[in-house]
Structure 1
Amino acid sequence: MIAETVCSAVSAAGLGIAAVTAYRKRFLAAARIAAYALVPVGLVLTGVVGWLADTAFSPTAWAGFVLLGCAWALFATTRAVERRRGGTRKERRAAARAAGGDAVAPAASTPSLGAAAGPAARPAAARPQGKPRSEDDFSDIEAILKKHGI
Structure 2
Amino acid sequence: MLAETICSAVSAAGLGIAAVTAYRKRFLAAARIAAYALIPVALVLTGVVEWVSGMVFKPSVWAGFALLGLSWVLFMTTRAIERRGLGAAEKPAKAVKPPKAAKGSAGQGAVAPAASAPSLGQGARPQPVSRQTPATPADDFSDIEAILKKHGI
Indicate the TM-score class for this superposition, using the shorter chain for normalisation. Answer: 0.5 to 0.7
Please tell me whether Structure 1 or Structure 2 has the larger radius of gyration of its CA atoms.
2
* Corresponding position of 1:128: none
More helix by share: 1
* Corresponding position of 2:108: 112
Structure 1 residue 113, shift from structure 2 partner: 5.5
TM-score by length of 2: 0.60
The reply on whether 1:32 has 2:32 as its aligned counterpart is yes
Structure 1 residue 73, shift from structure 2 partner: 1.1
Give the 5 Å matches for 1:78-93.
78-85=78-85
Identity of aligned residues (%): 63
Q: Aligned pair count?
A: 112
Q: 1:86 to 1:33 in 2, by over 3 A?
A: farther
Q: Which letter does structure 1 place at the counterpart of 2:59? A: P
* Corresponding position of 1:9: 9
Q: Which letter does structure 2 place at the counterpart of 1:2? A: L
Unaligned runs of 5+ in 2: 118-153
Structure 1 residue 116, shift from structure 2 partner: 3.0
Unaligned runs of 5+ in 1: 123-150
Structure 1 residue 49, shift from structure 2 partner: 0.5
Q: Give the distance between the partners of 2:65 and 2:43, measured in 1 at CA.
A: 22
SS at match of 1:62: helix
Give the 5 Å matches for 1:62-81.
62-81=62-81
